[in-house]
Amino acid sequence: MKRVAVAFVVLAAQAYASNVTVYEYKIDSPVADIQWVGSDKKTIYVRSSKNFVYRSEDEGRSWERQNWKMEKTSDDEKSGILSFHVSPSDTNKLFFRGVGKQHWATLDRGGKYIPLEPAFTIKEVKIHPTEPEWMMASHLTEGCKGAERKECNMEVYLTQDLGKTWRLIQRYVAQFEWAPAADGLLKSGMLKESIFMVTYQMSSGNQPFGVWSAKAQFSRSDDLWKTKYTLLPRGNRFLFLDKFIFVAVVNKHHETQVNLYVSSEGGRVFKKARLPFQLTEHSYTILDTSEGSVFLHVNHGDYNTGYGNIYLSDSEGLRFALSLRNNKRDAQGRCDFEKVQGIEGIYITNEQINVDPESKKEKPKLRTKISFDKGGRWANVKSPSVTNTGKEFACNPVEDPKCSLHLHGVTDSWGPFYSSKNAIGLVMATGNVGYHLSDKEDEVHTFFSRDAGLTWSMARAGSHIYEFGDHGAIIVIADDRKASKEVYYSWDEALTWNELHFSDKATEIENIVIEPKATSQVFVMYGTRGEQGVLFQMDFSNLHEPQCKGVENAGDPASDYELWSPSDGRSDGSKCLLGHQVRYTRRRRAAACFNGEQYERSEFRKTCPCTEEDYECDYGYERTSESGPCVAVMAISTLPPAECKGTYNVSNGYRLVAGDTCDPTKGIDRLPTIKSCPGLFGGSAAEVSRTGWVVLIILVGLAGVLVLVTMRTRSDAAGLSFSSVLEMLPTDRTACLMCLLAIPGALVECFGFVKNAVTGFRGGGGSARYGALPDSAMDDELDLGDELVDEEAEELRDDDARLNTLPPVNTPKRTSDVGNLLGDEFTSPHAGAKKGA
């Protein structure tokens, strides 16, 4: 086959009045995907919208089309690439999914491409997290083609040699995943052979697509799907995220409604998540789990409802309290909700304020809120008082408390709020100052915060796309609403901006990206010029001295580094968040130097006294206003649990925010009240408490002493010796028992005194400790407001007992962090930070 060479123009230009180098490269069509591969972060792959693949070995300075290098095993097969997939455990190995049955692999970052024997068309690829050549792939059967579907279903195949050979392992599949891993280690309780799937209980006919189905079941295998175990009947979608496994289970009697089940024990036991209201649940988005609890968005309305409620769980991910109503969402399940990366407890979100029935025909009005205590309280975002040129805004936030800063999220086309864990405390966003979020082009501007969202300044007029580099030391922004020839960069965290002329031809900029850790000084920008795509490399490494100095004595006048602590702006001036003060080292705002890719940020922590900001409402409680107390919104049982072990906790309406480390003995104490268990020994009939055992032993001893003393007294009165008294003691059990019963009054009198003394010695009734709801509130997964009817509740009880326990797995203890979005159908990827990312 004759190949046609296509010439591309490469332009190298010196930026005006700077040492920034820009390289330009045109490709056939707009960029569809871009990924860094290899450990040195030098190699980049790009796929165009017309399925051509390009590769750069020098961080985007020069590019080469790869399709010509990918030989085919058959001339009948097409050469386009639908997607490429990088092995998490060896980023030198990639799999390329072709548009037909022809696929390719590389073991050396594209040094050589291996053509694989045509097998089947692939819909989705899952590469194993720790085994670089293990992979699963899905395939839609021939019956799915055309308008008349017949025996249409999704099949899953498995390979252990990166696609050279395959075997069919399951038909009628809705979702499939390998066991989760993080940092190259499998999650605790998992094997490398562990696979999870949602399958349909059918062997013929057309498989359901895009709907909830009672025919689905969530299953697991620990031997590469040779055998499997059903974990949850009617389980339709699942997600691994940090330490949690989430499963959406269809309600048996209402197939359009689902319930969320959660496991924090590696999938061995699943429990139903408990929301404080008996509302229908149609879909979920898992917003964040990075701090040990779960932010959950629930769509209580229909498919077209553009908002839902945000709930926050306890540390087990099971009992949820309302955090915020009417959070903005789109039809794909994406929500305007973002964590400020690298800092604990700070989140930004958008709420819809016109949700009353009279406003249904109106355009949604959004208001931006920020929380510094992990969703316990939400407040308006503080607005700057003037623009970047010193002019006043249309409303004055000092005079009008309803006037605040409003920021765009991922649900619209403007640049969303964005932060990076390697640019500590820095946040960029587009929005406006006013009474609600605007989408008028002349009102949307770019804003910047260097204290994690506490205060803001207007960075530049108009909307921009943005990226941080060199740990936040450099910021690059570009106009994202019209074609341009310039970008702007700042070395002093948005105080001043320098113009960089990157091309003589105007380009519509789609995005600015950087290697995944955002520590480099080399940026890649891409956009379009007509029907063509354009790639730019912008290299800032020669702009200043190569390295900042004085990190070991941060805060000194001679150092390029400062000490900074995030804060919620509380009036006492303390720098506490989530119960502790954290102090970071970071580059001074005006220091014209590089941090360098190897820069390690140091931290210092100190525990703080508890304040109101350290508490959130407990399950079943809700704040009636932003700063009001937590009040009960449902009946909360204060009865002891069925299995009471000495003491039990009764909620006061509050719980410490998960991960909060404040000291309640030196501040506000709203922890649960500890009560003693009822009963003779402070426990249930089935179990004697530890206090009960101590009391029992003392009572038996006292009983013996009382018997002997009584008989000794009587013997002395009768002139008998003590040895003769011993001979008089009864020898049979009945007589001995009668002897003890002869002094019941003394025993009863002793009991209260002894138990109180023992309990007081242990401190059981005095000090309050943090605890969850009483065990009785969680023992039965279908109590406390479950809307299931009795018949279904009984069935799920049977299912839980029969199916939720797997055979023991012999595997070392490991941890995992796997992040993703759980969308409307549990499949939508979270756009996260930036448009086009």
Give pLDDT tens digits for 704-722: 555 454 555 444 444 444 3
Residue 63 Cα to chain centre, angstroms: 36
What is the distance between the alpha carbons of residues 683 and 391, in angstroms, rounded to a whole number? 70
* Per-residue tokens: 372: 């510094």
State the Cα angle at 359 between 356 and 360, rounded to 5°: 95
Give pLDDT tens digits for 576-598: 888 999 999 999 999 989 998 77
Nearest-10 crossing angle of helices 690-718, 733-741: 90
pLDDT for the residue numbered 216:
98
Q: Note whether residue 704 is domain-resident.
A: yes
Give pLDDT tens digits for 388-440: 999 999 898 888 989 999 999 999 999 999 999 999 999 999 999 999 999 99
What is the distance between the alpha carbons of residues 79 and 99, in angstroms, rounded to a whole number? 7
pLDDT for the residue numbered 820:
30
Give pLDDT tens digits for 622-655: 887 777 899 998 877 788 888 888 899 899 999 9
Q: Over the chain, what is the mean pLDDT?
A: 81
What is the distance between the alpha carbons of residues 588 and 493, in angstroms, rounded to a whole number? 9
Contact in structure between 199 and 173 (CB atoms under 8 Å):
yes
What is the distance between the alpha carbons of residues 449 and 428, in angstroms, rounded to a whole number? 7
* Per-residue tokens: 51: 């399925």
Contact in structure between 13 and 25 (CB atoms under 8 Å):
no
Coil, helix or strand at residue 749: helix
Domain count, the chain: 1
Average pLDDT over residues 487-504: 95
Q: Note whether residue 687 is domain-resident.
A: yes
Q: Which helix (H) or strand (E) holds 244?
A: strand 244-251
pLDDT for the residue numbered 137:
98
Please identify which residue in the block is written with the tokens 């059967």: 141
Q: Note whether residue 711 is domain-resident.
A: yes
Q: Note whether residue 209 is domain-resident.
A: no
Residue 45, C-beta contacts closer than 8 angstroms, at least 6 positions apart: 33, 34, 35, 37, 53, 54, 55, 66, 84, 94, 110
Q: Note whether residue 537 is domain-resident.
A: no
* Per-residue tokens: 304: 């077209």
Q: Note whether residue 82 is domain-resident.
A: no
What is the distance between the alpha carbons of residues 474 and 275, in angstroms, rounded to a whole number? 44
Q: Note whether residue 797 is domain-resident.
A: no
Coil, helix or strand at residue 241: strand
pLDDT for the residue numbered 256:
85
Give pLDDT tens digits for 37-94: 998 889 999 999 999 999 999 999 999 999 999 998 777 777 799 999 999 999 999 9
* Highest-confidence segment of 412-421, 750-759, 818-827: 412-421
pLDDT exceeds cutoff 70 at 772: no
Residue 348 Cα to chain centre, angstroms: 14
Coil, helix or strand at residue 613: helix
Which own/partner contact pairs does 680-688 have at CB distance under 8 Å and 24+ positions apart?
Answer: 680/751, 682/644, 682/646, 682/647, 682/755, 682/759, 683/644, 683/645, 683/646, 684/642, 684/643, 684/644, 686/643, 687/643, 687/645
How far CA 104 is from CA of 84, 95, 215, 613, in Å, comes to: 9, 6, 36, 54
Rg from Cα positions in the chain: 33
State the Cα angle at 681 between 679 and 687, rounded to 5°: 90
Q: Note whether residue 9 is domain-resident.
A: no
pLDDT for the residue numbered 834:
52
Q: Which domain holds residue 713?
A: 682-767
Residue 705, C-beta contacts closer than 8 angstroms, at least 6 positions apart: none
Confidence band, pLDDT 50/70/90 cuts, at residue 698: low
Coil, helix or strand at residue 59: coil
Confidence band, pLDDT 50/70/90 cuts, at residue 182: confident
Average pLDDT over residues 292-317: 90
* Per-residue tokens: 283: 């879909």
Average pLDDT over residues 206-227: 96
Please identify which residue in the block is written with the tokens 């002891």: 640
